[in-house]
A and B are shown apart, each in its own frame.
Chain A
Amino acid sequence: MNATGDVIVVGSGASAVQAAQALVEAGRTVTMLDVGHEDITYAALIPNAPFSHVRQSDHRQHRYFLGDEFEGIPLGVLGAGPQVTPPRQYVVRHSDELTPTQAPDFAALESLALGGLGGAWGAVCFPFLEHESARCGLPAAEMREHYEIVARRIGISGDRDDLEPLHGQLEALQVPLEIDANASRILARYERRKAIFQREGISIGKPLLATLSQALNDRQANPCYDMDFWSNAGDSVYRPDLTVRQLQKSRNFLYRRPYLVDSFTETNDGRVNVRACALDGGGIETFEARRLVLAAGALGTARIVLRSLRQFDVPVPLTCNAHTYVPCLHYRNLGRPPCERCHSLAQLTMIYDPVGDRQHLTQGQMYSYRSLLLFRLLKELPLPHRESLRMMRELAPSIVIWVIQHEDYPTADKHCVLRQRPDGAGDYLEIEWQPSATETASQRSSERAMMRAMRRLGCWPMRPVRPQHGSSVHYATTLPFDTADKLLTTEPSGRLRGTKAVYIADGAAFAYLPAKGLTGTLMANANRVGQQVARTMD
């Protein structure tokens, strides 16, 4: 038995680290249990230089662009792949074996890495509106304060523009980063015809990004090298592992790996025992603490809870933002050279509000296509490679991709179940996630409206690409916030219902997913839960 002090936090992703930091700041001692894979291969190879310079000079580039096993060349169906470039493959390493899932139609991406899925995060960081928070089960009034704390902690850059009413104000906002040629042309066109766009419920502005435009602590501003899919120069994009490294300087914080947490039990004297498997061959170990904070991701946390409470074969809800890629030819930009000094994160955000009541928003992020390399585009064209290569190399600087994201709410057809293997060798998560015909129809109609707007902005939409369900990697709702006293739900305080000392700090508790991307709110809520847990121990 390992006595660990006050609190055990499970996981090291966006939620886990914010909860841990809140606890450490409140003077509690925290032990973080994590598997903790890291990239030991590629990061060191990538030069800190602009994309086109790297391309023309670095003889080792094939190693990180394509991977040592050429794993970066997509040959199969389109899944959650594009953002998981070879230098980010460590994020999903060994998840298939260690967190087995049976989900034939659902890309269930889980991470056992240091920093969790945050290692491959696109850094778009929008707060939820009050009613969105409320629908999630979050205390809307409190959330503002936590958003501000997190924004100061991680550094968020962005503009105060037409989008502000759709995500609410953030005081601690750094000035926006420069946007690229495609984006500034589109934004200028939007500004000129704003009245028309707004009449149709379309607002466009710069995204809030968890990347620095000004130095923060020992992190540097984004150098705008267009290398953000491959490296993180100067740690300018916030990744949760940065917080782990910073917390490790504190005497109150212990990061322990490689532990895969299996289950927990509560003792009669109000303490929690956590069973974890030491993956370095140490076998099963038990840790004891006064509180347990679960933040292993909506799927990972559900596994641990269902296993601990022996709730096998009991379906729990699962939500996930549906995702559609709309590649467009931004013909007004044709013939202009690509921007040499820009970042590769989202350049613009379009929010579509069909009714004007801000209740059912759809969001699109615009990326310029360049640093993910031309060859991936060719795969989508049914032309001979020689010709499509010559066409694409002319067109690529004017190709933009809008990634449209839809809200998601629990229904009977979206759930996961923990099943025991018949041979007694462990368990696996079975996932079924089917949107209803009505949902799909309303999503298509929003997409059509947004594509109309794209046309008006000078972007010719090509055939939309709908990746596999689950590809957005925004999972939630497995143990939703609920005020009613129901098993397998989370109390508003973050405590897992039916337990005394187990808290849920990640997306598992979100009862709803707005179209915004949940990471910013995950962190704000985790900070809130962390503070709550600290308070219960006074």
Chain B
Amino acid sequence: MLATKSSSSDGGGMPTVAVTGAGGFIGRNVVACLLERDWRVKAMVRRLETSTGLPKSDRLEVVQADMRDAESLRRAVQGANAVVHLAAAMADERDSDEINVGGARRLVAACRATGCARIINISTQSAKIPRQGVYARTKSAADAVFHSSGLAVTTLLPSIVYGDETSGVFGTVLGFVKKLPIVPVLGDGRWISAPVYVGDVAGAIHSCLEHDNTIGQRYDLGGPEQISFDEFIDRIAAARGICRRKLHIPFGLSLLGARVATTLLPSPPITVSNVLGSNQNTNIDIGPARRDFGFQPIDFSSGLSRVLGPVGIDENVLATESIVIAQYLIGQTPSPALQDRYAAACRARLREDADVELQFARRHPRFWPFLDAATGILRPHSTVRQRVFLMTALLEATPEYAGFFLKPPEKPLRLMARVAWQGTRGVARIAVGIPLLFWARRNA
């Protein structure tokens, strides 16, 4: 009914694409992208209630379909010119084979039966790793099914896909960064990924539909930057104006934990596939995608600000910072009122983005004094130095600490000795601080 209506009102010449997994994170974005580019879309969802996140359009038809049910697939694919295949069992579920591999066979059959020849198959970088868990194994098997089907298949293998605050690996890490003081990392944190913005993935899918030279090809999809998982976490934290320590759980222990969790829990927080997938590097080469269909992903920083908005400073970070600085200056912990005032002063007077030095100081609070010393010589207007200066002013204008600032003077000789001692200390601090500052910049 819907389809009839839309084809009559919108011109029947428009091509139709069926999207499996349309209710999922990438699916929603793909549907929106295709609708924007004037396609008619049949959004295939297992449960109709997951379709609420889909955009409203009279070119959109939501159909109920299950990868385990051949008949439902055939009905859904009926009338479509192409299929975008996103649906997958990702959490090592017991029926992963049934959904991922069996589902691929059923989808191929449905396409053959309905005369839909074109398939864009979304796989994963994990399909390329040597030591595979259930997810990687079933996805690479599914890829083989598609490519041996004789249909016009293009397979895309995205790295980490990010696009909103809750979805995917990105959403999980962001959740940790927001809630936990220490972010747990499965493995050594050196795993390399190329985070790619979901809009770019959707755009790539659309480009593949439009470019016949992509038929039969497999393309890596990633952002322009390849970064370690530790840096992935740091960049997300920095975009929130904070920094987080990381707890690296050794690979073996992570794997054991994942096994135990999968055995004991119905929906485990981590799976063996998670551990395996985030500890084996793959060669992510987006050159072919650039060459064949003009893939031009945005960099991670731009993507982050699209997802999270401009950098916002977390209240807790400033409170911690005020304590660190006051401890350094006068050896006391400032009152909560003064901590709040520090946050207010920073917001009123300083730029909000954290430069290299500030990020470093926040990550390593014990180095604040040395960075203060080094920037005093090299960058007197740096934000690290200005923050210490602000705190000095705030402390001075607070009666509890006035005594410290109004100390009665000593006898001249003692006074000169004290001044000389403090001067020596200051110079020593600078001597340590300057190499530290260079080191921090180089490792930024």
Contacts and interface: CB of A to CB of B under 8 A. Distances in A.
Given A56-B402, A56-B406, A383-B376, A75 B389 contact: yes
B399 A55 contact: yes
Contact of B393 (A56, A58, A373, A381): A373
A426 B203 CA distance: 50
B47 to A, nearest CB: 53
B406 A73 contact: no
Contact of A375 (B381, B385, B393, B406): B393
Contacts of B373: 383-384
A373 B376 contact: no
B182 interface: no
A308 interface: no
B28 to A, nearest CB: 43
B422 A373 contact: no
A334 interface: yes
A376 to B, nearest CB: 8
Interface string A350-391: 000000000000000000000001110011011111111111
Contact of B419 (A56, A337, A395): A395
A387 B423 contact: yes
Contacts of A335: 409-412, 415
Interface string B394-438: 101111001111111111100110110011011101100100000
B369 interface: yes
Interface stretch (A62-70, A155-163, A275-283): A62-70
A394 interface: yes
A75 B389 CA distance: 9
B372 A385 contact: yes
B430 to A, nearest CB: 7
A73 B350 CA distance: 11
Contacts of B394: 62, 66
Interface in A28-68: 52, 55-59, 61-62, 65-66
Nearest to B433: A384
Interface stretch (B78-86, B315-323, B341-349): B341-349
Interface in A54-113: 55-59, 61-62, 65-66, 69-70, 73, 75
B329 A397 contact: no
B427 to A, nearest CB: 8
A62 B344 CA distance: 12
A393 interface: yes
Chain A, interface size category, equals 35 or more
Given A66-B393, A70-B349, A385-B392, A394 B369 contact: no
Contact of A334 (B329, B396, B416): B416
B379 to A, nearest CB: 11
B349 A383 contact: no
A336 B409 CA distance: 6
A73 B349 contact: yes
Interface string B343-387: 011001110000000000000000001001100110011000110
A106 B156 CA distance: 61
Nearest to B337: A59
B410 A394 contact: yes
Given A335-B410, A389-B329, A378 B402 contact: no
B407 A393 contact: yes
A65 B376 CA distance: 24
Nearest to B370: A384
A523 B203 CA distance: 74
B393 A384 contact: no
Contacts of A387: 422-423, 425-426, 429
Nearest to A374: B405
Given A335-B409, A391-B422, A384 B399 contact: no
A73 B412 contact: no
A55 B402 contact: yes
B44 to A, nearest CB: 56
Interface string B312-341: 000000000000000011100000000001
Contacts of B60: none
A65 B369 CA distance: 26
A194 B357 CA distance: 54
A388 B380 CA distance: 14
Contacts of B411: 335
B304 interface: no
B429 A384 contact: yes
Contacts of A398: 409
Given A386-B369, A391-B419, A375 B396 contact: yes
B197 to A, nearest CB: 36
B390 interface: yes
B350 to A, nearest CB: 8
Given A62-B398, A335-B412, A374-B396, A384 B423 contact: no
Interface in A387-436: 387-391, 393-395, 397-398
B388 interface: yes
Contacts of B345: 66, 70, 73
Contacts of A385: 328-329, 372, 376, 385, 388-389, 392
B208 to A, nearest CB: 51
Interface in A166-204: none
B426 A388 contact: yes
Given A58-B399, A382-B380, A390-B422, A73 B341 contact: no
Contacts of B425: 387
A114 B392 CA distance: 33
Nearest to A385: B388
A57 B408 CA distance: 17
Nearest to A64: B397
Contact of A75 (B386, B403, B427): B386
Interface in A288-317: none
A66 B398 CA distance: 11
Contacts of B328: 385-386
A56 B399 CA distance: 4
B30 to A, nearest CB: 48
Contacts of B410: 335, 394
A17 B373 CA distance: 51
B397 A384 contact: no
B389 A378 contact: yes
Contacts of A334: 409, 412, 415-416
A66 B341 CA distance: 11
Given A334-B416, A378-B392, A390-B418, A65 B407 contact: no
Contacts of A65: 396-397
Nearest to B391: A385
Contacts of B392: 375, 378, 385, 389
B346 to A, nearest CB: 9
Contacts of A57: 399
B437 to A, nearest CB: 12
B390 A73 contact: yes
Interface in B266-295: none
B393 A382 contact: no
Contacts of A59: 398-399
A62 B390 CA distance: 12
B444 to A, nearest CB: 22
A379 B388 CA distance: 10
6 contacts: A66-B345, A337-B409, A383-B373, A385-B376, A386-B372, A391-B418
Interface of A: 52, 55-59, 61-62, 65-66, 69-70, 73, 75, 334-337, 373-375, 378-379, 381-391, 393-395, 397-398
The 10 closest A-B pairs by CB, nearest first: A387-B426, A384-B373, A335-B412, A383-B426, A62-B397, A55-B402, A65-B397, A375-B393, A70-B345, A334-B412
Given A56-B399, A385-B372, 4 more contacts: A61-B398, A383-B426, A384-B429, A389-B329
